[in-house]
A and B are shown apart, each in its own frame.
Chain A
């Protein structure tokens, strides 16, 4: 699915240059569930941003589905991202002005899908995360766990090949966290590749492989027995 070769990400301010990722090499195969762990500031988020094509690396290569995308421009990246990648965030990032249904539908609006099909798919996605009964509510009216389930529905409704999750359970209590993790596992079982950043060891255990980052470098990879 994706291969990072000697990937470097450096941030420059006027005086200081900070290296967030230092020569990272990672290979994620189709259908894998990878968890990335590490302390604060180790580069997890930078890595996820680049993998999610929200940011570009300073140097190195990024192969996605056999395509070297590290030098692509914003428009091209947006196109690949739209077709292949779904996102889940720690803070849910639902749009306050839109209902649950509309929030999920948003992910299909940019795909040229007819309204009727959109409706069916959104309903299906909401059912899948058990939130169908609240489709006309606004995000503020939901609990954190429910909001994250909506976010998951939104991430998967366009049927992405890969799901990127940035501490998806970070703002949730353990019951809701476990629920979210079960859903991710199910999705993975259905064939979706998942890359997840997390602080939580128990939740990382859901993954098939854990990558540890420290100071911008991969320090360990443990393949969990399947």
Chain B
């Protein structure tokens, strides 16, 4: 029996090749798209599960509830949190901190800037990364040890064994390589190349930070003892913070940190899929995951609908077989089983085809995503059941209706003559399914355009500065560079290609920020306001093209503009005996948002006003507002612009921006490299292009948009395959009618119009369904953005029109062919 079924199935496929090709290719493309997305989603949701204690590892998160700001939950915590928390909670087995830094690494003639990560010595026992050499238990116990990945070892030592070798860090600390790790697997949310122990001389400043509960420097991970309840621990965290954290002493009086900071724990395995500010590696949001999963299933639904439509449309051709089988004794259940089996078999073929397609597409797809996705049944034990599930879902989902329809034929009516038969199921149902398909396609088209539109808008939104022809150079606060900054500037200025130079603590595109308290001396709110503060040199705003909306920029010739610090401050010594309060005069520039936040009537009204800014344990800045700069974005335009105050304090200038005249960029780059090599021969230069830095912020978003667009296009393609098949069958079925119409005088265009109109109606109806759904969804999606595009009705109509045109093209070809045939052939056909 099974043999007979399979044989009939195969021979039917061969006999109706067009049908088979349409069905198989539609299904295969649909399955491939679905598989690619599912592989991606599985990869994204499978982060960090390979650690032995993954289920007991948590990251400390802090939610900052600063008055006047949106609460922000972040992945970094204070250096003191881990030790204090473990001491107070017996259920915590151990903790490790994870703090990123940047150092110069040198061996012999090799010297580079590298990101280092400082961790507690038990780090490798909590996170059991694979070691190639060394001992995880002791690798980080010696303060002068350093652990590196295979890739780093190769970079510095080539093929020679790295274990036991010595590297110099920051030109003064000789550290011994105590372990080499295999390169990190792609599915971990941790990222590092070099590990230093917490008590390493390189990161001595960090332990000092344990006392400062106001600073969050890095991540803290804890490991619970087996069986400990994380819920109980989380519930008690708030009280523990209140008991433990002493108020921050400031000249204004104590600040109760416990009122600002709400700690929580995030499971290690959730880190990648529940991203927070300050994450070590970028995660993927739940919205994205849900969206992609939904797209995968929508594509699958479209492919299933094709399957159903083509199968029911062809029912006529199978009617005789059904009848004969019934007559010789097949029960309905047997027929249903046969047809379901046929569609499952079809799906298996499609799956095999799609596995090949996925194999072909996977390298490019992985490359595009920058991830390593693989279709390896051995590696992923869930893959096989997943594939099996997919086959059954599609085979039965797409085959159920045709199976029940076909098996319902009454042989008494289908056996009468050779050619004629039933209409093959309800034409209305088929139309409904086509409507659903096109509604999905149109909605996806609208969604893609909105996502893309928002992306382009974000990229082209006026950021508030000009990123062209600009270089960013780092490390001007490092010893050995700081002293030469002015010489460096002077030498660059001699180059006619350099049109602007400015220094700052943070350049847009950087992640870090400083916040401090500010208060108006007269008027304004009674309380101090916590506000972002940054320092820029005279000429910085001009170099990057930021606009002043009132007043003036910092002027190097006006001493009162610049913060002048006493030596004990610049040299990091304690204040002289008896100093309790120190006021330093400073020029202050506000951005427009800060003007509003401080309650000034407008930019002009703020000029000349005085503010008191908290500066250090005993010092204040007595600021005079000299100008207002137009708001600009530090981070992605998706984040709102916050109030910022600017001072000019050269002790805080870390990065330099150099703008070149158009066409002189390369010459300026060469010049900078030469000058750096001359002034600071013992240190590598670290420079980047401003526009690239800014564009990098949108890379992920760009990929998401492109991926979305690709899969939408696939969805539309599959819908069209289905429509094409359906049109060809309808045309075939209506040959007699068309022949008669021609005999009665219809012209070719008349007939084409007739057929095209028949298939336009479902597409038009699909628009009516797709538009409101897409509108609501996309409006909600856009509402997450501070700066967003508006939904344009033209976009919706455009998507509808595109769908209609595609449908016309698909159907029109058929219609024209059928309409052109001589009526007599059509009439003889039946």
Contact = CB atoms under 8 A, between A and B. Distances in A.
Given A49-B412, A54-B410, A55-B410, A95 B328 contact: no
Contacts of A166: 415
A54 B331 contact: no
A224 interface: no
B291 to A, nearest CB: 44
Contacts of B579: none
A98 B325 CA distance: 12
Interface stretch (A31-39, A102-110, A129-137, A212-220): A102-110
Given A49-B412, A54-B412, A95 B331 contact: no
A28 interface: no
Contact of A95 (B8, B332, B415, B418): B8
A59 to B, nearest CB: 18
A96 B15 contact: yes
B4 A105 contact: yes
Contact of B323 (A75, A92, A93, A109): A93
B326 interface: yes
Interface string B327-370: 11111101000000000000000000000000000000000000
A96 B419 CA distance: 12
A158 B332 CA distance: 19
B332 A74 contact: yes
Contacts of B323: 93
Interface stretch (A81-89, A173-181, A187-195, A203-211): A81-89
B11 interface: yes
B417 interface: yes
A74 B330 CA distance: 11
A180 B536 CA distance: 106
A105 B330 CA distance: 13
Interface centre among A49, A79, A83, A94 (most CB of B within 10 A): A49
B411 interface: yes
Q: How many interface residues does chain B have, given as a range?
A: 20 to 34
B665 to A, nearest CB: 71
Contacts of B321: 95, 97
Interface centre among A79, A81, A95, A166 (most CB of B within 10 A): A95
A70 B332 CA distance: 19
Contact of B331 (A49, A75, A92, A106): A75
A43 to B, nearest CB: 13
Contacts, number: 81
A110 B334 contact: yes
A95 B324 contact: yes
B320 A78 contact: no
A91 interface: yes
A110 to B, nearest CB: 4
Contact of B4 (A75, A109, A111): A109
A110 B330 contact: yes
B416 A45 contact: yes
A111 B334 CA distance: 12
A91 B324 contact: no
B667 interface: no
Contacts of A89: 415
Contacts of A54: 326-327, 410-412, 415
Given A106-B324, A111-B329, A154-B328, A98 B412 contact: no
A145 B334 CA distance: 31
B519 to A, nearest CB: 86
Interface in B25-67: none
17 contacts: A54-B326, A54-B327, A55-B412, A78-B326, A79-B329, A79-B331, A81-B327, A87-B327, A89-B415, A93-B320, A97-B8, A106-B324, A107-B329, A109-B328, A110-B1, A110-B331, A154-B328
Going nearest first, the 4 A-B pairs with the smallest beta carbon separation are A82-B329, A97-B11, A54-B412, A107-B328
Interface of B: 1, 4, 7-8, 11-12, 15, 320-321, 323-332, 334, 410-412, 415-418
Given A54-B410, A98-B11, A111-B329, 16 more contacts: A49-B412, A75-B332, A78-B331, A78-B332, A82-B329, A87-B328, A89-B415, A93-B324, A93-B327, A95-B320, A97-B11, A106-B4, A106-B325, A109-B328, A110-B329, A158-B329
